[in-house]
Chains A and B, each alone.
Chain A
Amino acid sequence: MTDNLAYVLYGHPRSGNAYKTALMLALTGTSYGFEAVDLMGGGNLEAAYLEINPLGKVPVLRHGDLILRQSHDTLRYLAERTGKFGPDGWMEEARIGDWIGFSVDFLGFGLARLRFELLFGAGPGPVFDYFKKAADRGLGIIEPHLAANEWLACGRPTIADIAVFPVMSYLTDAGYDVADFPAVAAWQQRFQALPGFAWQIDLMPIDNWPPA
């Protein structure tokens, strides 16, 4: 497979899922073009974008003719292409899979929803309380795990860490105090020290950030 095709990332700095893909590109030193999708203004539901992703979601990663529409697929794809941050064998693939699932079950359907409800949704209320249960459980799993392990899977940084980092960076926005999760905080510091690390707005630059 030739690898000189250009990568194009369609995303928005407000999307945690787009940030996963952007981080993977940055941490693997893969150059890419960035196309901002105006989530706030409904640009994701315009015909031109729906042709790229009929579900109107971000991110999309285009590599030549191949269009990837799921953030976790982009991580697995880039790991295979670059030979970085991926599993070596099935035992490792299984452990990385644990944390990719965790990022869906407890973060996507938990912590990320809390932040969404507080910043853009109905605020505190029954929906918030429902997702808080999942978020609390998830934090109760990840904090002791990181107290005993430097990285989430395989003893080195992998796509498991890259899948989990973006939403964990929303702890404060989701109403938690980072000081209550010292092992998570220490892991965040380790992650941010990885060569190539950058914040979402630097990897997916748009004008007028942060929005008023």
Chain B
Amino acid sequence: MSDFPDFATPIELIGQKQSITTHKVALMLAMTETPFTFRIIDLLSGAQKSAEYETLNPFGRVPTLIQGDLVLRQSPVMLRYLARRTGQFGYADETEEYAVENWFGFSYDYFSFGLARVRYINRFMGGEPQHLKDFFRPNMLRGMDLIERHLADHAWLALERPTLAEFVCHPMVSVWRDAELDIADYPATAAWLERFQALPGWHEPEAMLADRGGAQWQAG
């Protein structure tokens, strides 16, 4: 594939400090030592519905990653792109590729459709409605149970080294407090959280993005 932009072209990440999907990509950028600027879009004020942002991202979601003419609107595509460009946290062959990719689907099934919803309701909707949390909790708990059993005999999720699978799942699990979980119930997962956080370049994502002091997205 030859239509890569020059990787020296500045990268801008437009996202939200509290958004888990933004965290995934911001951590990948930071931990591959890829320079980027961060621009904040305030979802709670509806700035993603502005005409300017809609042109960049008609789906009204965050984050969006821009490098030259390339506009990426899906975090899995961003992670794959950055792995390919930096040669880090990716896969060496097809068997590795699908071992890693399985965790993207896992994260959709149990975290996007479980843990992340419970956390969102608690953090941004005042903890209500309870019936929605009840709806998502079984999936969250099943996901935690599956990942705990897996990590009981694996240091890392997909391969013998940290990969994109970690960038997909770690930012999800690390918000366990807001999802009404106690990480002490999941000792292998707790140890894996610590291992990932000990890697060079890791920072607590909200604090890291605040430090980057992103300009606010100006609507209109």
Binds B, one of A22-30, A88-96, A182-190: A88-96
CA distance A27 to B48 in the complex (A): 37
Q: Which of A69, A104, A141 contacts B108 (CB 8 A)?
A: A104
Let me know if B70 and A90 touch, CB within 8 A: yes
Residues on B with C-beta less than 8 A from A77 are: 94, 98
Indicate whether A145 reaches chain B with its CB closer than 8 angstroms.
yes
Tally of B interface residues using CB under 8 Å: 34
Given contacts A89-B3, A90-B3, contact A130 B73 (CB under 8 A): no
Let me know if A94 and B73 touch, CB within 8 A: yes
B50 to chain A, nearest CB (A): 16
Q: Which of B61, B76, B132 contacts A97 (CB 8 A)?
A: B76
Given contacts A90-B3, A101-B59, A126-B131, contact A70 B74 (CB under 8 A): no
B72 to chain A, nearest CB (A): 5
Indicate whether A127 reaches chain B with its CB closer than 8 angstroms.
yes
Q: Is the interface of B mostly helix, strand, loop or mixed?
A: helix
What residue of chain B has the Cβ atom nearest to residue A138's Cβ? B59
Given contacts A55-B146, A127-B135, contact A91 B3 (CB under 8 A): yes
Q: Is the interface of A mostly helix, strand, loop or mixed?
A: helix
Indicate whether A35 reaches chain B with its CB closer than 8 angstroms.
no
- A-B contacts counted at CB < 8 A amount to 77
Indicate whether A100 reaches chain B with its CB closer than 8 angstroms.
yes
Indicate whether B206 reaches chain A with its CB closer than 8 angstroms.
no
Tally of A interface residues using CB under 8 Å: 32
A114 to chain B, nearest CB (A): 14
Residues on A with C-beta less than 8 A from B59 are: 98, 101-102, 105-106, 141
Indicate whether B77 reaches chain A with its CB closer than 8 angstroms.
yes
Chain A, residues 36-54, CB within 8 Å of chain B (1/0): the string is 0000000000000000001
Let me know if B94 and A69 touch, CB within 8 A: no
Given contacts A90-B70, A91-B3, A97-B76, contact A105 B61 (CB under 8 A): yes
What residue of chain B has the Cβ atom nearest to residue A137's Cβ? B60
A183 to chain B, nearest CB (A): 15
Contacts A55-B146, A97-B73 known; 8 new A-B pairs at CB < 8 A:
A69-B105, A89-B1, A90-B3, A90-B4, A93-B77, A98-B74, A105-B61, A126-B132
Q: Which residues of B contact A (CB under 8 A)?
A: 1-4, 58-61, 69-74, 76-77, 81, 94-95, 98, 101-102, 104-106, 108-109, 112-113, 129, 131-132, 135, 146
Q: Which residues of A contact B (CB under 8 A)?
A: 54-55, 57, 66-70, 72-73, 77, 89-91, 93-94, 97-98, 100-102, 104-106, 108-109, 126-127, 130, 137, 141, 145
24 pairs, CB–CB < 8 Å, chain A vs chain B: A68-B98, A69-B98, A69-B102, A70-B101, A70-B105, A73-B101, A77-B98, A89-B1, A89-B2, A90-B1, A93-B77, A94-B70, A97-B72, A97-B76, A98-B59, A98-B74, A100-B74, A101-B73, A104-B112, A109-B113, A126-B129, A126-B132, A141-B58, A141-B59
